[in-house]
Amino acid sequence: MIDLLPNTDVINFGEVSDAVNALLQQGVIAYRRDRQRADELFRQALATAPAELPVYFCLYKIHTYQGNLDEAEAAAESGLKEAASQAGWDLDWHKWEPHDILPEGPGRFALYTLKALAFIHLRQSRPDEAAEKLEALKVLDPTGAVGWPVVAALAEGLD
């Protein structure tokens, strides 16, 4: 999904426009020294191209790292809805149906972001909401391809 390119500090955000990629790369660099500037750059990217899913990832990731969990949750919820819409799924994740083959693209991003929301809810001391999302992921992604078993193990450790 989002990886460092070999032998560089540049991150591969997948297929995003050049303008959005430039803003995301600048945001990643800014994050190291100026987190507010990073947030501004990521929000500029979102305003420029609200359909570019990696922007939501950047926003919810940096806010989770910083402990701004309400901001992280808002970015993840928005990204979840955008991904669901792009995948042709219901905007309400409770209504999602499992697929024979784990989806790629927006569908995979939606599942990954549902996992991220479960993690955010754990950090917010909202274990019931995290558990609800993890239970859904057990059905939607039975192999754990988007990494939800790690979050489930964290949840178990908190019990």
To which CATH superfamily is domain 3-158 assigned? Tetratricopeptide repeat domain (1.25.40.10)
Q: What is the mean pLDDT of residues 50-79?
A: 97
Average pLDDT of the segment spanning 39-67: 96
Residue 89, helix vs strand vs coil: coil
Provide the residue ranges of all domains of the chain, joining segments of one domain with +: 3-158
Band (pLDDT 50/70/90 cuts) for residue 9 is low
Question: Which candidate, 51, 49, 2, places its Cα nearest to that of 25?
Answer: 2
54 has a pLDDT exceeding 60? yes
* Block residue for tokens 């929000």: 43
- The candidate with the shortest Cα–Cα distance to 110, out of 125, 128, 88, is 88
Distance CA 53, CA 49 (A): 9
- What contacts 15, CB < 8 A, 6 or more positions away? none
Q: Residue 5's pLDDT is what? A: 43
41 pLDDT higher than 90: yes
Largest CA distance in the chain: 45
Termini Cα distance of the chain: 31
Residue 158 predicted with pLDDT over 90:
no
> Looking at residue 75, what is its pLDDT?
98
The pTM of the whole model exceeds 0.75: yes
User: Encoding tokens for residue 31?
Assistant: 């994050």
At 116-147, the pLDDT tens digits run 999 999 999 999 999 999 999 999 999 999 99
The Cα–Cα gap between 31 and 25 comes to 10
